[in-house]
Structure 1
Amino acid sequence: MKPTTETHCATAQAVQQFTGQYLPLEQVTKPNLTTAEAGHYLDRRPQTLRAWACLENGPIRPRRIGGLLAWSTADVKALCGVA
């Protein structure tokens, strides 16, 4: 059973509170996110995202750029329901 979209995303309040390290997801314009950034927006630990990439069983799949995982900003926004 896959968790619902609501369980994958940080709450709207948490995203709206700018902590200084991460912009609100609505304001992110770069095409790809790091694993740490994607984990923050999806409210998951980076290791969980790495497991999704390794096992290819997560709700989104990353690209591999230069040996690093790059998570599509558009995919993360779609999963979180952000326009």
Structure 2
Amino acid sequence: MAIDSLADVALKTRTTPEDAGELRCDACSEPIEGEPAGRGLYVWTRGDEVRYEEPPLCAQCATAIGITALATWSVEEEEG
């Protein structure tokens, strides 16, 4: 479910009828066979309303995003 009309249009253009049943990685758009290796997290707020979306990620993107986040957190911890 989209938070506004612009997000709704973006979601509709990403999912076409011919690939509606096919699971694709949210980061690279490659097809995912079987279960996703990970999931992202989008959080939208509007007033008191909070919406969450957990898009699927392929193994390569899930690993890359996780390692990047860990490295960024590690650097922030070292800097104080």
Category of TM-score, reference length = shorter chain: under 0.3
Structure in which a larger fraction of residues adopt strand: 2
Which structure has the bigger radius of gyration?
2
